[in-house]
Amino acid sequence: MEFFSHLLLAFQVAFEPLNLLLCLIGVFIGTLVGVLPGLGPTATISLLLPITFKMGPVQAIILLAGISYGAFYGGSTTSILINIPGEAASVVTCIDGYQMARKGRAGPALGMSAIGSFIGGTFALVMLMFLAPPIAGAALQFGPPEFVALAFLGLTLVTYLSSGSMVKALMMAAVGLLLGYIGADIVTGKERFTLGITKLIGGLDLVPVVMGLFGISEVLLNIEKSSAAREVFQTNIKEVLPTRRDWRLSMGAISRGSVLGFFLGVIPGGGALIASFASYALEKRIAKDPSQFGKGDIRGVAGPETANNAGAGGAFIPLLSIGIPCNVLMAVLLGGFMIHGVIPGPRLMEEHPQLFWGVVGSMYIGNAMLLILNLPLIGLWVRILKVPYSLLFPLIFLFCLIGAYTLGNNTQDVYLMILFGVIGYLMKKFQYEPAPLILALVLGPTLESGFRQSLILSNGSFLIFLSRPISAVLVCIAFFLLVSPIVLRVWGKKRPGLLVRGDEDI
Amino acid sequence: MKKRDIVSSLFWIGFGTFFCVGAVQNGIMLSPGVPGPGCLAFIVGSILIGLSLFVLIPAVSKPGAAAEPSEAFFPHHRSLRKLSIALLALLGYAAAVEQLGFVITTLLFLLFVLAFIEPQKGKTILIFAGLTTLLAYALFSALKVELPKGFWGI
């Protein structure tokens, strides 16, 4: 019965005309940035945050959430039509999606991708409605040591699952934590690491840092390359509905993608990217004829596209029910909540039921809007793809500049964003990933306050993290993940072929 | 990559050291059993230094590592020029926007970027920069975003 009252509240809030409009704008912008290579949802949410300042928290989060899940719908379009993923979670769709386009089947590939995305996204939402309340209830029992252990595990998983060197990912997490300590101390009020800059007393703002690391640096990396025109595949894409055979092949992939994607989205460090890769690997492994993968097999599109949307939905659970973002996109969204004075976590459902259930309701509607919008608008996205990057990047620069300026109506945030743009550019050149840095920057204050409270509770004994069952389990998992690559490396030298991450990658 | 690992790890060692020194100055413990403002910063700074050594030591211990050829830093001969112009434009925008106001600074910024980074035809530059400035001004005004006004009030 409670479930239906929640559902009713969800749709009451979501169907308010303004919320419907913002949901539509959010998913449209999300699809647009998903379609455009070089501007992901993380940077977009950051640079649109100032626009939400005048809105209420419900409206702002509906808009921002729409951008975050809308981007995963749009990302597949570029993967299929030009073999360039619009965002990272669509990388794997390039493999079979582009091959389908080359065979004149771009329409069914795009159609199945949209349908799979809808099913995956909706499945994740149903699970979110069922699982978030009990998880939030359990999280109410958490004390400071448990939150420290959870944040520690989240950071460890992000570094463990990073694509490059784990040591470098850990270094970036450490840098993010250190940057989080800049500003006045939460207990004594003492200024720390501010270099005498007044602006830094309140701490380093998340938004200019994200805009710099994900927006400006990405444009700098793109403009330094020679300007080659993108070639959009010329094919008939009027017929987007898959055939009966496509349906028969894809239903299993969509079902497995929904479940796998959702659970990989929920774990800290997971999310849409890992979900899409895992789904592709699973489909290839269980296929009777895996040799068809890579040659335009529709299962290679349906599975990953379903999984990345289910993963994107699943990632909302730790954020909304525990207050811990499990990936960088959720970390930026957490920033959006905080700017509007809302702290996500176990009490969110009690203190802001309109916000929690309203956002969930809008996500149902947003998923339906995306399905309805995407298929007829494919022609528009193709035309947008033909706009040269030389005309797009000034717009991205401009939005970043205005976004940073309007955060506090001063140019200090703009300079900070430019500085982090250069840092982000250099980090990519030196093969350091920015995602662990952002997540650590967001989790840093939670980790520090919890850590200090825990030590005060235990009279300075670090054993408090191991003497409480939940924190002990979380800390042990984190240490296992930290140590396992080293063990595998040593073992791999004795038994060649065992290494899962090469020497360079550890 | 080895050469870049040496440079980057040395930088992060310096960065970690800065935080460790600052943490000690801020106080690692307030009293026995009570962590001070520098406690976690000292621990994390030390971890960063330790991890940087993990990157640095293999890079320097390999014979001839520093001289090892690696992928070019700039992929194109005009890359540095384009990057410099882009940064100049961004910094110029930040420096001028409060004096000149949103409209004039945005117009000048777009004209400069379109003319010098990926040069476009004169007509395209004028139309694109003009229209973008007007549309951006209309959009942000409609959204009630406070834009810098400058001397001329726009």
Tell me what the mean pLDDT of segment A168-187 comes to. Answer: 92
Which range has the worst mean pLDDT, A44-58, A81-95, A310-324, B63-77? B63-77
> Range of A286's domain?
2-505
Using CA atoms of A135, A140, A146, A151 in order, give the dihedral in degrees to the nearest 10: 60
Tell me what the mean pLDDT of segment B69-84 comes to. Answer: 80
Which range has the worst mean pLDDT, A352-366, A396-410, A480-494? A480-494
Q: Which residue has the higher pLDDT, B51 or B149?
A: B51
One-letter amino acid at A445 equals: P
> Does A398 sit within 8 Å of B109, measured CB to CB?
yes
Q: How far apart are CA A491 and CA A177, in angstroms?
A: 32
Assess A500–B contact: CB distance below 8 Å, yes or no.
no
Say which DSSP state A460 is in.
Answer: T
Measured CA distances, A461 to A142, A465, B30 (Å): 19, 9, 15
> Does A171 sit within 8 Å of B106, measured CB to CB?
no
Q: How far apart are CA A390 and CA B91, in angstroms?
A: 20
Q: How confident is the model at residue A495 (pLDDT cuts 50, 70, 90)?
A: low
Assess A187–B contact: CB distance below 8 Å, yes or no.
yes
One-letter amino acid at B3 equals: K
Tell me what the mean pLDDT of segment A41-69 comes to. Answer: 85
User: How far off is chain A from B37, nearest CA to CA, in Å?
Assistant: 6
Say which DSSP state A322 is in.
Answer: I
State chain A's mean pLDDT as an integer: 85
Tell me what the mean pLDDT of segment B96-123 comes to. Answer: 92
> Does A455 sit within 8 Å of B33, measured CB to CB?
yes
Is the pLDDT confidence value at A204 over 60? yes
DSSP-based three-state secondary structure for A357 = helix
Measure the CA angle with vertex A397, ends B144 and B96; round to 5°: 75
Q: How far apart are CA A131 and CA A472, in angstroms?
A: 23
pLDDT at A494: 61
Closest partner residue to B132 (CB to CB) among A167, A395, A459 is: A395
- Which range in A36-45, A47-56, A274-283 is most confidently predicted, on average pLDDT? A274-283
Which range has the worst mean pLDDT, A36-45, A109-118, A139-148, A383-392? A36-45
- Of the candidates A429, A456, A413, A503, the residue with the CA atom closest to the CA atom of residue A211: A413
Angle at which helices B79-100 and A412-429 pack, to 10 degrees? 170
Is the pLDDT confidence value at A246 over 70? yes
Is the pLDDT confidence value at B1 over 70? no
Q: What is the pTM of this model?
A: 0.84
pLDDT at A53: 80
Closest partner residue to B113 (CB to CB) among A187, A397, A458 is: A397
Closest partner residue to B146 (CB to CB) among A220, A395, A406 is: A406
User: Above pLDDT 90, what percent of chain A?
Assistant: 29
Tokens of A341: 């004075």
Which range has the worst mean pLDDT, A149-163, A317-331, B66-80? B66-80
Number of domains forming the structure of chain A: 1
DSSP-based three-state secondary structure for A456 = helix
pLDDT digits (tens, 9 = 90+) for A314-357: 989 988 888 888 888 888 888 888 888 888 888 888 888 899 99
Backbone angles phi, psi at A105, to 5 degrees: -115, 35
User: Above pLDDT 70, what percent of chain A?
Assistant: 93
Is the pLDDT confidence value at A425 over 60? yes
Is the pLDDT confidence value at A502 over 50? no
Q: How far apart are CA A234 and CA A111, in angstroms?
A: 17
The residue extents of the domains of chain B are: 2-61, 79-142
Is the pLDDT confidence value at A229 over 90? no
Is the pLDDT confidence value at A501 over 70? no
